[in-house]
Amino acid sequence: MTTATTAPGQAAPLVRVRGLTKSYGAIRALRGVDVSFRRGEIHGLVGANGAGKSTLIRCLAGLERPDAGDILVDGEIAHVHGPDDAARLGLAFIHQELNLVSSFTGAQNIMLGSHRGSMVTPRRFSGVPRAVLDAARRVGIDFPLDIPVSELTVHQQWLVTIARALVEDRALIAMDEPTASLDAQEAATLLKVARELAASGVAVVFISHRLDEVTAVCDRVTAFKDGSISLALPRAEITREAVVRAIVGHDVTPGAGATAFEVTEHPRVVLRLQDVGRGRSVREVSLTLHEGEVVGIAGLVGSGRTELARLIFGADRPDRGTMLLDGKPYRPRSIPHAIARGVAYVPEERRSEALFLTHSVEDNLHITVWDRWRMSKLLPLIRPRASRAAANHTCRTLGIKTADARRPVMSLSGGNQQKVVMGRWLATNPKILILDEPTRGVDVGARADIYDRIREANRSGSAVLVISSEFEELLECNRVLVMAEGRIVGELTGGEITVPNMLHLCYA
Ligand SMILES: Nc1ncnc2c1ncn2[C@@H]1O[C@H](COP(=O)(O)OP(=O)(O)OP(=O)(O)O)[C@@H](O)[C@H]1O
């Protein structure tokens, strides 16, 4: 691997993209993009959902063929027709769906990097070679490498994937939203690793919607808007305001338009949990949720937040305690049962758990209100024109970027797919709306839209539970419950709702 000898910004580009253009039918995903990535720099790519960031990365990775434009590596035109070409050119791409062999250990997965194209069997990896240990040390791996990666946390799996790229001796490592699923401490570790990689001469490409991280660690930021570059700034000139303006097209002040969620005067209790538990993941949780109330659940990854949500949504069954919904016993036998009782859940893993990828945006939006939009029971698939109009309207109000609601949901960018899941549940006017990491992977402009929709649900009487690892998001909630090791370890109200207080309770 080449070691950086020049200061960031001075070196000749390792990769240069010139006039890159890519369309999908009528959608122009990239419109003549010019951008360069240099050794020794962290280069942030930001932009609204659907702005073209992943398309650029997919073209560089050989997963998409651009319609026009050139990719140059070390000044030479490169032909990247597939992932093998990208690998040969020293380019590594780490996508959200980490490409690890789940039954292999961490060490075996890292070793795969040096066995490209040869027969790989677990028996070949009995000893841990020095190269693996070196790569593991460089990324700060301090967990056992001899257990299957399926038993590791997402954060640990990211570190394994980065270590593999180091064993492969890649000169450029592009990471697509590496911190999206991590808590604050894990994200800080990963950013430190990115800095160390850049310091050792690797060109690091960092795609993220978390602008505080981008402004803190990047040596250069390029913002995309509608397939074009709307801003390119070196470190000294990067400000959050400039980046937000380039993404959204106007200023968005933190919490713009946001008053704290309204509280109904004499709220009715909608949900009451008494000593509810399941195994060791949820332990004796008691809580009440009132009509028209927005309650945040703060906690680190693994604190039991999602497991608690799954019990309320009927995805898992509690093995102790009682639940009451509207004062009546509530023992959801299944998800449809919970939905029928007015409970809605937008899961953390939306793509795998919530979308029918080959179905249209309209189908995905209306699946929860199917009866409303079918012509007759005999012809369930035939829907009135108003269904399409309603779907297009939801797309506009939630800023879902698609040419037409008839398009398959898998043709949408990741963030736009998330907005579809959100729109689906908001249409049901649920009694209880549970949002698990509602703004993960969602751009800064759409975050404000999503919070506006939560406010609407709140005003129409839904009780909303918001689970988030980004504690700033919870500052507006009426109450915040903090979870650690499966228990509720504290409740914050009014002026007590601050990020330091949440962190203090998490780590107490
Ligand atoms: N396979 C595809 N078929 C049709 N359209 C596509 C396809 N892949 C991407 N697009 C469209 O191209 C545009 C750019 O998408 P891209 O995934 O690059 O956005 P992005 O900036 O990475 O967004 P996000 O932050 O949401 O991940 C979007 O309008 C998207 O719907």
User: Quick one: 491 and 357 in the same domain?
Assistant: yes
Calculate mean pLDDT across residues 377-383.
56
User: Quick one: 216 and 86 in the same domain?
Assistant: yes
How far apart are the CA of 33 and the centre of ligand 1, in A? 15
Residue 105 is encoded by which pair of tokens? Answer: 């250990």
> Between 375 and 362, where is the model more confident?
362
pLDDT recorded at residue 165? 87
Report the run of H or E that residue 38 belongs to, with start and end. Answer: strand 27-38
Instruction: Check if the beta carbon of residue 20 is closer than 8 Å to that of residue 228.
Output: no
How far apart are the CA of 10 and the centre of ligand 1, in A? 32
- pLDDT at residue 120 tops 60: no
pLDDT recorded at residue 405? 86
- pLDDT at residue 272 tops 60: yes
- The rounded Cα 47 to chain-centroid distance in angstroms is 14
**The length of the chain, given as a count of residues:** 508
pLDDT recorded at residue 508? 64
Choose among 340, 267, 343, 285: nearest CA to 312. 343
Atom number of ligand 1 nearest to Cα 57: 18
If one counts every other C-beta atom within 10 angstroms of the C-beta of residue 234, the result is: 13
Please report whether residue 263 resides in a domain: no
ipTM of the complex: 0.97
Q: Is 64 left (phi over 0), alpha (psi -120 to 50) or beta?
A: beta
Instruction: Check if the beta carbon of residue 346 is closer than 8 Å to that of residue 436.
Output: yes
3-state secondary structure of 94: strand
User: Quick one: 496 and 365 in the same domain?
Assistant: yes
Please report whether residue 2 resides in a domain: no
User: Quick one: 96 and 158 in the same domain?
Assistant: yes
> Between 165 and 34, where is the model more confident?
34
- pLDDT at residue 53 tops 90: yes
Atom number of ligand 1 nearest to Cα 443: 25
Q: Round the average pLDDT of the chain to a whole number and report it.
A: 84
Alpha-carbon distance of 275 to 321, in angstroms, equals 5
Please report whether residue 419 resides in a domain: yes
How far apart are the CA of 54 and the centre of ligand 1, in A? 7
Tens-digit pLDDT profile for residues 154-175: 888 999 999 988 888 889 999 9
Instruction: Check if the beta carbon of residue 428 is closer than 8 Å to that of residue 372.
Output: no
Q: How confident is the model at residue 126 (pLDDT cuts 50, 70, 90)?
A: low
List, in sequence order, every beta strand (DSSP E) within 89-201: 91-94, 172-176
How far apart are the CA of 248 and the centre of ligand 1, in A? 17
Alpha-carbon distance of 400 to 242, in angstroms, equals 24
Please report whether residue 90 resides in a domain: yes
How far apart are the CA of 169 and the centre of ligand 1, in A? 29
**Bridge partners for 21 per DSSP:** 68
With the CA atoms of 9, 15, 17 and 22 taken in that order, what torsion angle do they form, in degrees rounded to the nearest 10?
Answer: -130
**Bridge partners for 271 per DSSP:** 289, 325
Residue nearest to atom 12 of ligand 1 (CA): 29
Instruction: Check if the beta carbon of residue 400 is closer than 8 Å to that of residue 416.
Output: yes
Pocket test for ligand 1, best of 54, 93, 97, 421 (most atoms within 8 A of CB): 54
How far apart are the CA of 413 and the centre of ligand 1, in A? 4
pLDDT recorded at residue 258? 40
Residue nearest to atom 22 of ligand 1 (CA): 54
User: Quick one: 108 and 183 in the same domain?
Assistant: yes
Residue 390 is encoded by which pair of tokens? Answer: 């309603």
Tens-digit pLDDT profile for residues 210-233: 888 899 999 999 999 989 999 999
Pocket test for ligand 1, best of 31, 33, 55 (most atoms within 8 A of CB): 55
User: Quick one: 209 and 327 in the same domain?
Assistant: no
Calculate mean pLDDT across residues 359-367.
86
pLDDT recorded at residue 212? 84
Please report whether residue 257 resides in a domain: no
* CB proximity list for 17: less than 8 A, separation 6 or greater: 33, 34, 35, 36, 56, 59, 60, 69, 70, 71, 72
* 120-129, 143-152, 465-474: segment of lowest average pLDDT: 120-129
3-state secondary structure of 462: coil
**Bridge partners for 120 per DSSP:** none
Q: From 201, 216, 248, give the residue that closes a domain.
A: 248
- pLDDT at residue 352 tops 70: no
Residue nearest to atom 31 of ligand 1 (CA): 412
User: Quick one: 195 and 304 in the same domain?
Assistant: no
Helix axes 414-426, 385-398, angle to 10 degrees: 120
Ligand 1 pocket: which residues have CB below 6 Å?
24, 27, 29, 47, 49-55, 224, 401, 411-416
User: Quick one: 277 and 228 in the same domain?
Assistant: no
How far apart are the CA of 55 and the centre of ligand 1, in A? 6
pLDDT recorded at residue 259? 44
Tens-digit pLDDT profile for residues 285-323: 999 999 889 999 998 777 899 899 999 999 999 999 999
Structural domain of 460: 269-507
Q: How confident is the model at residue 400 (pLDDT cuts 50, 70, 90)?
A: confident
Q: How confident is the model at residue 254 (pLDDT cuts 50, 70, 90)?
A: very low
User: Quick one: 332 and 410 in the same domain?
Assistant: yes
User: Quick one: 107 and 75 in the same domain?
Assistant: yes
User: Quick one: 147 and 208 in the same domain?
Assistant: yes
pLDDT recorded at residue 372? 57
Residue nearest to atom 4 of ligand 1 (CA): 411
Please report whether residue 295 resides in a domain: yes
Alpha-carbon distance of 155 to 62, in angstroms, equals 26
Calculate mean pLDDT across residues 233-256.
75
Percent share of the chain, pLDDT over 70 = 87
Q: From 248, 281, 303, give the residue that closes a domain.
A: 248
pTM comes to 0.72
How far apart are the CA of 28 and the centre of ligand 1, in A? 9
> What's the CATH code of the domain at 338?
3.40.50.300
Atom number of ligand 1 nearest to Cα 56: 18
For the chain, the domain total comes to 2
Calculate mean pLDDT across residues 197-220.
91
Please report whether residue 220 resides in a domain: yes
User: Quick one: 23 and 53 in the same domain?
Assistant: yes
Residue 122 is encoded by which pair of tokens? Answer: 């677990």
pLDDT recorded at residue 1? 40
> Between 193 and 261, where is the model more confident?
193
Please report whether residue 6 resides in a domain: no
Alpha-carbon distance of 379 to 375, in angstroms, equals 7
Choose among 450, 441, 402: nearest CA to 423. 450
Choose among 371, 451, 378, 373: nearest CA to 405. 373
- pLDDT at residue 7 tops 80: no
* 118-127, 321-330, 455-464, 480-489: segment of lowest average pLDDT: 118-127
Alpha-carbon distance of 464 to 420, in angstroms, equals 18
